[in-house]
Amino acid sequence: MTHLVLIGLPGAGKTTVGRQLARRLQVPFVDSDAVIEERLGCSIREFFEREGEEPFRDVEETVLDELTRGEPCVLSTGGGAVLRPANRQRLRARGRVFYLRSTPEELMRRLRHDRTRPLLQVADPLQRLRELHALRDPLYRETAHYVIETGRPSVATLVNMILMQLELGAEAARGATAG
């Protein structure tokens, strides 16, 4: 098995879906943000406020490089992981990448009470989500092998959709090598 990588905006369900997917596949689940916080010794929000975005992205790039070289797992990435070209290339080359796509309005519904996400601590979080979506959607699509529309399906349904895509991909690969 290769790495299964989940990308998408904050609140798209990467961690929740990733945990369930890893359980179903009986492989480890790794949340890159949790690994980064462990390494930093503080929350991403604290580090962001103290050091700024660029130093955070440096740490994130190093951690993603290490994680995608390690044992196969289900890897949930931070929402901004695709901002660096090196991350986009590595994630795509070293794993099967699933973009969990949600509209800014759906994300706002899920995140309206969440105070832990640094990029959303602004006067108009919905507008911020719209800006993030406009900027990042093309980068997510460039990185992803599959786009999964999260909409309102349950977590179990989303996991099944991912497993189905993996199975279809494996079938197509077997067909290509047999032909």
Range of the domain at 91: 3-178
Weakly modelled stretches of the chain, pLDDT under 70: 1, 115-120, 176-179
Q: What is the pLDDT of residue 54?
A: 95
Answer for the pair 25, 159: CB distance below 8 angstroms, yes or no: no
Confidence at residue 2, expressed as pLDDT on a 0 to 100 scale: 82
State yes or no: 24 annotated in a binding site.
no
79 annotated to bind ligand: yes
The pLDDT assigned to 63 comes to 97
Q: Is 16 annotated as a binding residue?
A: yes
pTM of this prediction exceeds 0.95: no
Flag whether 94 is marked binding: no
Tally the C-alpha atoms within 13 A of residue 11's C-alpha that lie toward its C-beta: 26
Q: Which residue has the tokens 């290509």?
A: 176
Residue 12 annotated as lining a ligand binding site: yes
Q: 62 a known binding residue? A: no
| 101: CATH | 3.40.50.300
The pLDDT, as a whole number, for residue 152 is 77
pLDDT of residue 176: 67
Element (H, E) at 158: helix 155-178
| Overall number of domains in the chain | 1
**Per the annotation, does 150 bind a ligand?**
no
Residue-level pLDDT at 171: 72
pLDDT at position 5: 97
Smallest CA-to-CA distance from 164 within 179, 152, 146, 177 is with 146
The verdict on whether residue 136 carries a ligand-binding annotation is yes
Per-residue pLDDT, 119: 64
d(CA 4, CA 17): 12
